[in-house]
Chains A and B, each alone.
Chain A
Amino acid sequence: MKPVNQKAWFLILPVLVCVAFSAIIPLMTVVNYSVQDIISPERRVFVGTEWFASVMRDPDLHEALWRQIVFSFSVLACEIPLGILLALSMPAEGWRASITLVVVALSLLIPWNVVGTIWQIYGRADIGLMGATLQLMNIDYNYTGNATDAWLTVLLMDIWHWTPLVALLCFAGLRSIPDAYYQAAQIDGASKLDVFRFIQLPKMRGVLIIAVLLRFMDSFMIYTEPFVLTGGGPGNATTFLSQYLTQKAVGQFDLGPAAAFSLIYFLIILLLCFILYNWMQQVGTQAKEQIHG
Chain B
Amino acid sequence: MAARIDLNLAHAYHANPKLDSDYALLPLKMSFRAGGAYALLGPSGCGKTTMLNIMSGLVRPSQGHVLFDGVDVTDKSPQARNIAQVFQFPVIYDTMTVAENLAFPLRNRRMPETDIRKRVGQIAEMLELNGQLNQRASGLTADAKQKISLGRGLVRPDVSAILFDEPLTVIDPHLKWQLRRKLKQVHQELKLTLIYVTHDQVEALTFAEEVVVMTRGKAVQIGSAEDLFEKPAHTFVGHFIGSPGMNFLAGALDDQSLLVGERRIGLNDQQAQSLQGLANIKLGIRPEYVHVEAQASFNSIPAQVERLQDLGTSMLMTMRCAGHVLRARLPLTAQHFTVGSSVHVSLLGKHTCFYHNEELVV
Contact = CB atoms under 8 A, between A and B. Distances in A.
Nearest to B139: A288
B136 A187 contact: no
Contact of B87 (A180, A188, A199, A291): A180
Given A180-B88, A183-B58, A203 B94 contact: yes
Contacts, number: 62
B43 to A, nearest CB: 21
Interface of B: 56, 58, 77-79, 83-85, 87-89, 91, 93-97, 104-105, 108-109, 134-136, 138-139, 149, 152-153
A198 B88 contact: no
Interface in A236-288: 287-288
A202 B134 contact: no
B136 A291 contact: yes
A184 interface: yes
Contact of B152 (A188, A197, A288, A291): A188
B93 A189 contact: no
A191 interface: yes
Nearest to B77: A186
A191 B58 CA distance: 16
B105 A181 contact: no
B94 A187 contact: no
Contact of A287 (B56, B85, B88, B136): B136
B134 A187 contact: no
Given A188-B108, A199-B93, A183 B78 contact: yes
Interface in A142-184: 178, 180-181, 183-184
Contact of B85 (A178, A183, A189, A190): A183
A183 B109 CA distance: 17
Contact of A186 (B79, B93, B96): B79
Per CB-CB distance, the 3 closest pairs between chain A and chain B, nearest first, are A189-B108, A180-B87, A184-B91
A141 to B, nearest CB: 43
Interface string A193-231: 010011100110000000000000000000000000000
A288 B84 CA distance: 28
A178 B89 contact: yes
A189 to B, nearest CB: 4
Contact of A194 (B108, B134, B135, B139): B108
Contacts of B78: 183, 186-187
A184 B91 CA distance: 7
Contacts of A197: 95
B142 to A, nearest CB: 14
Contacts of A190: 104, 108
A188 B104 contact: yes
A291 B134 CA distance: 7
Contacts of B83: 187
A186 B97 CA distance: 20
A180 B85 CA distance: 10
Name the residue in A180, A181, A186, A191 with the highest tally of chain B Cβ atoms < 10 Å from its Cβ.
A180
Nearest to B87: A180
B172 to A, nearest CB: 20
B85 A198 contact: no
Contact of B84 (A187, A198, A202): A187
18 contacts: A178-B91, A184-B149, A184-B152, A186-B58, A186-B77, A186-B79, A187-B105, A189-B108, A190-B104, A191-B108, A197-B95, A198-B93, A198-B95, A202-B94, A203-B94, A288-B139, A291-B135, A291-B136
A204 to B, nearest CB: 11
A34 B88 CA distance: 61
A288 B87 contact: no
B82 to A, nearest CB: 9
B149 A202 contact: no
B95 A202 contact: yes
Nearest to B149: A184
A291 B98 CA distance: 12
A190 B149 CA distance: 15
Contacts of B58: 183, 186
B95 A187 contact: no
